[in-house]
Amino acid sequence: MSIKNNLKEVKEQLPDAVQLIAVSKKHKEEEILEAYEAGQRIFGENKVQELIGKQPHLPEDIQWHFIGHLQSNKVKHIAPFVSFIHAVHKFKLLKEINKQAKKNDRVINCLLQFHIADEESKFGMTEEQAENLLNMPQYKELKNVTIVGVMGMATFTEDTEQVKNEFGKLKHIFQNIKTKYFADQPEFKELSMGMSNDYKIAMEQGSTMVRIGTAIFGKRNI
Ligand SMILES: *Cc1c(COP(=O)(O)O)cnc(C)c1O
């Protein structure tokens, strides 16, 4: 078992249209480099301090996706380089991302996070909250963020029917929002769902981005 082989095995399961985000949280720079040398360029992290600690030591052509819960006061630390932020769950955060992206003369890709699991611990909006956000006049003034899709996490359970239904629900939300708010914006196309234990189910439900850690890097260490 090596990172290189694991990566190859995971990739063999993914159609070309599905992007792989290699979730490197709690793994060392050497391990990230091993995946990089095997061709992986997109990595995901979920803690700001950890990401800004690693990023300067790793190749510049890595695309960093921030996949975790992000506090507004920490956006400034990742805004200079992050390419996607997966878990936007309120307008205040989106506004801050826009402000910091503007300072860096960049546009940051964002995904709206939805609460689809039956676990209270997970963050995310309801469809109604997302619609309220998208209807705000202030939202339309944000020029340094692009909303490119939606993200969600299914319940951690053995019940594959439940997981399938939750991903199906997210797909449905994605389609509703796309039709209502992004019909003329082809960049709104990403459905970020699926992790090591459920990415095959997520892909059957239409996932375009899977976020996979353990199946590539093994058990998390640091
Ligand atoms: C850790 C994490 C993942 C990857 O989880 P694995 O089970 O290790 O594949 C995916 N998405 C988010 C938001 C995470 O925090």
CA gap 160, 177 in Å, rounded? 26
Nearest-atom number in ligand 1 for the CA of 67 is 13
* 51 Cα to the center of ligand 1, angstroms: 15
The band of 115, judged by pLDDT with boundaries at 50, 70 and 90, is: very high
Q: What is the pLDDT of residues 22-56, one digit of tens each?
A: 999 999 999 999 999 999 999 999 999 999 999 99
Q: What's the pLDDT at 118?
A: 87
**Which residue puts its alpha carbon closest to atom 6 of ligand 1?**
213
pLDDT at 121 over 80: no
For residue 116, which of 75, 87, 147 has the smallest C-alpha distance? 87
Average pLDDT along the chain? 96
Phi and psi based region of residue 152 (left: phi greater than 0; alpha: psi -120 to 50; beta: remaining): beta
Residue 124 near residue 116 (C-beta atoms within 8 A): yes
Nearest-atom number in ligand 1 for the CA of 212 is 9
CA gap 151, 170 in Å, rounded? 8
Q: What is the mean pLDDT of residues 2-17?
A: 96
Q: What's the pLDDT at 221?
A: 75
Give the torsion sign (CA, 187, 131, 116, 98): positive
Lowest mean pLDDT segment, chosen from 19-23, 74-78, 120-124, 163-167: 120-124
Q: Residue 84 burial (CB < 10 Å; 0-12/13-18/19+)?
A: buried
Per-residue tokens: 3: 């990172």
**Which residue puts its alpha carbon closest to atom 10 of ligand 1?**
211
Nearest-atom number in ligand 1 for the CA of 217 is 8
Mutate to test the pocket of ligand 1, among 6, 46, 123 (most ligand atoms within 8 A of CB): 46
Per-residue tokens: 95: 């506004």
3-state secondary structure of 44: strand
* 211 Cα to the center of ligand 1, angstroms: 6
**Which residue puts its alpha carbon closest to atom 7 of ligand 1?**
196
Residue 201 near residue 164 (C-beta atoms within 8 A): yes
CA gap 158, 27 in Å, rounded? 26
How many Cα atoms within 13 Å fall on the side-chain side of residue 36? Answer: 17
pLDDT at 80 over 90: yes
Per-residue tokens: 143: 């020029």
Q: What's the pLDDT at 139?
A: 97
Q: What is the pLDDT of residues 182-201, one digit of tens each?
A: 999 999 999 999 999 999 99
Per DSSP, which regions of 91-164 are E strands? 108-114, 145-152
pLDDT at 120 over 80: no
* 124 Cα to the center of ligand 1, angstroms: 15
Mutate to test the pocket of ligand 1, among 47, 195, 200 (most ligand atoms within 8 A of CB): 195
pTM, to two decimals: 0.96
CB atoms within 10 A of CB 91: 16
- Percent of the chain exceeding pLDDT 70 equals 100
Q: What's the pLDDT at 222?
A: 59
pLDDT at 92 over 80: yes
Mutate to test the pocket of ligand 1, among 23, 48, 198 (most ligand atoms within 8 A of CB): 23
- Angle of the 3-13 helix axis to the 29-37 helix axis, nearest 10: 50
Per-residue tokens: 153: 């996490």
Residues at CB less than 6 angstroms from ligand 1:
23, 25, 46, 67-68, 153, 195-197, 211-215
